[in-house]
Amino acid sequence: MDVPSDRAGDQIGLRLRDARASKGYSLEDLAIATGLTEAEITAVENGTSTDVHHVERIEHALGW
């Protein structure tokens, strides 16, 4: 069964937020590491943005 894209985005965002928290990174830390704005990271974490380039940059910064 396919997962609706909004739920998939929510799941990706939650996993990225959990990974950021487990590494002790603030939004500011991750923004510096990725070159993204805090708003862009928040949008990914909240599931309102699934921009693949943003997700990849966050994953790379988190060591995925």
| Structural domain boundaries in the chain | 5-61
Q: What is the reported pTM? A: 0.83
**pLDDT tens string 13-49:** 999 999 999 999 999 999 999 999 999 999 999 999 9
CA dihedral 6, 34, 52, 16 (to 10 degrees): -40
CATH match for 5-61 among 1.10.260.40, 3.30.470.20, 3.90.1150.170, 3.60.10.10: 1.10.260.40
- Give Dmax over CA atoms of the chain in angstroms: 38
